[in-house]
Structures are given as structure tokens and as C-alpha cells.
Amino acid sequence: MAKLNFCRRDFLGSLLGGAAGLSLARRGFGQAAPTPIQATKLTGHIALLSGDGGNIGLIAAEDGLLMIDGGYANRALELQKAVAERDTHPVKLLFNTHWHGDHVGSNELLGKAGVKIVAHQNAKFWLGRKVTMEAFNSTVEPLKPEGLPTKTFIDGGKITFGKEKIEYKWFPNAHTDNDTWLFFPAANVLQTGDLFFSGAYPVIDYSTGGWIGGMAEALDKLLKVGDAQTRIIPGHGPLSSKGDMQASRDMLHTVYDRLDTFSKKGASLDNVLKANPVADLEPKWGQGFLNGERFLRMAYPSIAKHAQLAKSGGTHRVSW
């Protein structure tokens, strides 16, 4: 496969539709006709915006808006129009759940306008440099300086935005090494970023610290946030319940246990693909976003990559 080089605006769509040769048309993740941006009201002042990129949380205060993630860069203006249709106040704060281009596409547009951008310090690290993503045989260019986070954190924190008190927390190594989830206790809404792909196999970016064991553990942790009624904004997929999350958690643990057995025997990726240890999961999980083969090509190498990372001192951390 030719090595591809593209900017972040086409990030996940290009990775999955072009570079990795996947068909995502059914789920509308950045291929063919763009999926219209749709808004779903969750409470009087919280909405979910969805389109081609990752899901977006929008929180309204009396004097401005908080956006959690920002879709693709090539739809950033369209997204701002959709936001303005809901609320004419300006976006005051942008939060990035992690560094991927289908979530940080509004950074440059809003950063240029002086909007503060908050992200985990590792997200800023990856956003500021060219990143080679081995699983996709691709490189991603750095954001322009105005799109970089203006405030970073290490473990998490709390924001009070308007009437909403929001807790946010980093999960060390799962989808990447900079995944952050946010919980709105009063509204009982949880936004997971890409720690949770609802109803589909998740992307695992092992080149920036992700691994399947972490994805499975992250859902163990997130299942304990809130209660049985908590409404969940996943990174991708529809507004979800704890039941949906439990199903993903069970699938990920099953796959991890099976792959770990192969890994301990020293099996090669080709051996694993030949054995196809996800054949029984395919009807439920492999029909839309990633098929089983593509998922195994990310999930299996992620185990060895994580072991290497652990040996070299754990997750990537930078002081800013």
C-alpha cells in the first residue's frame, strides 16, 4: 500500500475509507455524501451534535457555549452554522477529548478567533507534530499553532460552565494515550470521546499509545460512572445507554482474552487472521464501521506495542 500523507481534515474518513480500504458508507463516516449535522437536545442546555466526525457535546451558558470536540476541519464552518442555529452566543471554550482529526477539526477555526482550547497534555503533544500511524500506513500533519490547546491537564479536573458542573478525567492508554471522558452529574450525561464506539468495533490507535486491553478496562471504569439511567454520548454511534456500553465492554474483553492467548503463544498477525478469533462476533460487531479483519489488524499488534511501552516506562507524558 502506498504511504499516504494528508492533512487532518480528512483524517478518519481517509484513513478508513481510502488508506485502509474500508467501506464505511453505511455508517457515513466521512465518505461519499456528507452526513448532515443533526442536533439532539438532551436537556435545556445540553445538546448532542452528530455528523461525519466524532460526536460533539454542546453546553449553553447565559453568555456563551462550550463545545466538546469539533468534528472534521472541512466541516468546521458548517458546524458553527449548526451551532448558531441552536444558540447565537459565541463558543467560549472548546474541549478536545483526544488528538484525532475527526474530533479536533474546529481547533484552527476557533483557536484563530481566540477561543480557549482545553485538552490532555499528550493530545497537545501529538497535535503539535507529524504523527506516523502505523496501522494505517499514514502520516498526519501537525495543526497550525493557533489550533493547539491553550490549556492542558494531566489527570483531569472540574469545570463549572454556566449552571453545569462538569467532571473530566483522563484514561491513560486505551484508544490513544490522551483519551478524556466528561461527566455532567446534574444532567446525568456522560461523554466518552473515542473510549466508546457504540455498536461497532472501535479504532485502536496503537501508534499513539492505544491498546485493546485499555479499551476493555476503560469501559469497566465508565460503566461505574453515573447510574443505570445515564445517557451516553459515545465517540461514534447513536446516543447510548449503559446496556449498550456493557455489550461493547463484554465484546472487548472477549476479544482481548482470545488475542492475549495468541500473544502468549507468540502467534504472528497472519496466524491470528487465519484463525479469525472474532468470526462469531462478526454478525453483531463487524457490519458497519470496521470489519473483523481490520479490527484484528489494530487490536492484535496493540498488545505487543503496549508491552513495549510498559517496558520503556509507561505512557507517554510530557511536561508543558
- Which residues of this protein are in contact with Zn ion, per CB under 5 A? 100, 194
DSSP state of 35: P
For residues 294 and 20, the answer to whether their CB atoms sit within 8 Å is yes
Looking from the CA of 180 toward its CB, the CA atoms found within 13 Å total 29
Shorter beta-carbon distance to Zn ion: residue 177 or 194: 194
Using CA of residue 173, residue 295, residue 276, residue 301, what is the dihedral sign?
negative
In whole angstroms, the minimum distance from the beta carbon of 159 to Zn ion comes to 22
In whole angstroms, the minimum distance from the beta carbon of 175 to Zn ion comes to 6
For residues 41 and 47, the answer to whether their CB atoms sit within 8 Å is yes
Best CA proximity match to 69, nearest among 139, 12, 154, 7: 12
User: Residue 50: in which H helix or E strand, if any?
Assistant: strand 46-50
- Residue 143: which residues within 8 A CB-CB, separation 6 or more? 8, 104, 107, 108, 127, 128
In whole angstroms, the minimum distance from the beta carbon of 207 to Zn ion comes to 12
Can you spell out the DSSP letters for 267-286?
Answer: --HHHHHHH-TTGGGHHHHS
